[in-house]
Amino acid sequence: MVDRLKSGGMLIVEAFNPIQNGGSSGGLKDFKLFISKHDLAAYFSSLECVQNEHLVLEIKEGEGRVGIANIVRYVGVRSNL
């Protein structure tokens, strides 16, 4: 995926943190699909990291997706080639 970014291109990932598993605001059914900020840093180590954090947010996305959610947000930029 990173090799598809142009020089200066930005990658933005927002995903559920493993802490979210079983949370009342919904989430993923397959635990393997959760990701931590440490995993994101490792996967995208070739990018310049602009933001990589664990956030606790209140979400209102419809039935079954209301309440506190544990997410990770990663923003990385491909350096000039």
| Exposure string over 47-62, b if 16+ CB within 10 A, otherwise e | beeeebeeeeeeeeee
pTM, two decimals, is 0.82
Task: Show pLDDT as tens, one digit a residue, over the chain (81 residues).
Answer: 898 999 999 999 998 888 776 666 666 666 677 889 999 999 999 999 999 999 998 888 877 778 888 899 999 999 976
Burial class, 27, CB count within 10 angstroms (exposed 0-12 / middle 13-18 / buried 19+): buried
**Contact (CB, 8 A) for 16 and 70:** yes
